[in-house]
Chains A and B, each alone.
Chain A
Amino acid sequence: MVKVKVKLFAVFADAVGTKELVIDLSGEKVKVKDVLEYIRSKYPKFREVEENVPILMLVNGINVLPDDEVKDRDEVSFLPPVSGG
């Protein structure tokens, strides 16, 4: 079991309705994309927002890719870098 704290920023927090979640994921090796998939399945609005906004993914403050690993008690952040000017 891997317990992670998920921090959501800006439009992602709006979509989920909170800035912070604590989630438990089963499995030996958990990846960032598993965390994403969990949020997508629980919060359909997140998926909607995601279609139009790129995601910046961080694990413990370092930018990572979907295939990177997440360990127990890591902090995963999802931020939407915005593109208007």
Chain B
Amino acid sequence: MHPEISSVNASTLSKEEKIRYSRQIMIFGEEGQKKLKSARVVVVGVGGLGSASSTYLTAAGVGRLILVDKDVVELDNLNRQVLHWTRDIGKLKVRSAAEKLRELNPEVDVEGLAVEVNEESVYDIIKEADVVVDGLDNWGTRMIINKACVELGKPFVHAGVHGMYGQLTVIIPHESPCLQCIVPSAGTKPKSGTFPVLGTTPAILATLQAQEVIKLITGHGRPLIGKLLIFDGTTTTFTTIEVSRRKNCPACGNPAMQQ
């Protein structure tokens, strides 16, 4: 388990769980699976990204999954937000998602919070999280989460998408650059607009997010810390670049820091 994550590991696996997760236990062992079972993950936003990340986190058997989204399902969500089906139009996204995720894996404690993320509510939303997962659709709300994650020392797995483009990074507060270090010119006002997107784009980025979360929790592999992955679906290209902290970053900066 990544040293930043400090959940207790007191659980045991039932016979059914050992069978359900047998193929991934071959990768990181029962110890890794128990770490997943002890973990609490918060997915903020249950749209295109959140649908895919929460599905794979549920299938992988995280102990507790908290979904956060204040919106209801609309017809034009359905090309990408695959946890929401035609019959769910008008239903709260967290309810629609939680219903299916509980059926997918009853071992996971799925909770839905239909609340708005703002400077006040954010601390309560993420306080119990071992890892926070980005499923948001605008820079403003992302920066609110980013700042709170830095303050509370929570790992934050970021992704964003547009059309057939996307990016991904793993933020470990005070160790890696935060989102504000990487995108200092992004607006900080919460504003969500209508953006073009093909359903496969968030699916690609969000399954990578789920994989990074699982790596952070189990300690298996090397998470994408201090690096930004850029995805170009039009040419099927993945590019990884190094990103660095800014000592004058308004969110995580420390003037005494060496740069």
Task: Give A residues with C-beta under 8 Å from B.
Answer: 9-11, 54-56, 58, 61-63, 65, 77, 79-85
Residues of B within 8 A of A10 (CB): 162, 165, 230, 232
Decide yes or no whether B25 CB sits under 8 A from chain A: no
The answer to whether A63 and B182 touch across the interface, beta carbons within 8 angstroms, is yes
Residues of A within 8 A of B195 (CB): 82-84
The answer to whether A85 and B136 touch across the interface, beta carbons within 8 angstroms, is yes
Residues of B within 8 A of A84 (CB): 48, 137, 160-162, 195, 197, 202
Given A9-B230, A9-B232, A54-B183, decide whether A85 and B139 contact each other with a Cβ distance below 8 A: no
CB distance from B70 to the nearest CB of A (A): 14
Given A11-B165, A83-B160, A85-B160, decide whether A63 and B243 contact each other with a Cβ distance below 8 A: yes
CB distance from B12 to the nearest CB of A (A): 36
CB distance from B225 to the nearest CB of A (A): 15
Docked complex Cα distance between A54 and B188 (Å): 11
- A55 CB contact (under 8 Å) in B45, B185, B239, B243: B185
Interface size on B, residues (CB 8 A): 39
The answer to whether B230 and A85 touch across the interface, beta carbons within 8 angstroms, is no
Residues of A within 8 A of B49 (CB): 85
Interface residue ranges of B114-156 to A (CB < 8 Å): 134-139, 142
Given A54-B186, A54-B187, A63-B243, decide whether A83 and B142 contact each other with a Cβ distance below 8 A: yes
Q: Given A81-B167, A85-B135, 4 other A-B contacts at CB below 8 A?
A: A9-B232, A83-B142, A84-B160, A84-B202
CB distance from B167 to the nearest CB of A (A): 6
Residues of B within 8 A of A79 (CB): 167, 230, 241
The answer to whether A77 and B241 touch across the interface, beta carbons within 8 angstroms, is yes
Decide yes or no whether B181 CB sits under 8 A from chain A: yes
Decide yes or no whether B250 CB sits under 8 A from chain A: no
Residues of A within 8 A of B136 (CB): 83, 85
Docked complex Cα distance between A58 and B142 (Å): 22
Decide yes or no whether B184 CB sits under 8 A from chain A: yes
Decide yes or no whether B47 CB sits under 8 A from chain A: yes
The 5 closest A-B pairs by CB, nearest first: A82-B162, A85-B137, A84-B195, A54-B185, A10-B165
Docked complex Cα distance between A79 and B167 (Å): 10
Decide yes or no whether B244 CB sits under 8 A from chain A: yes
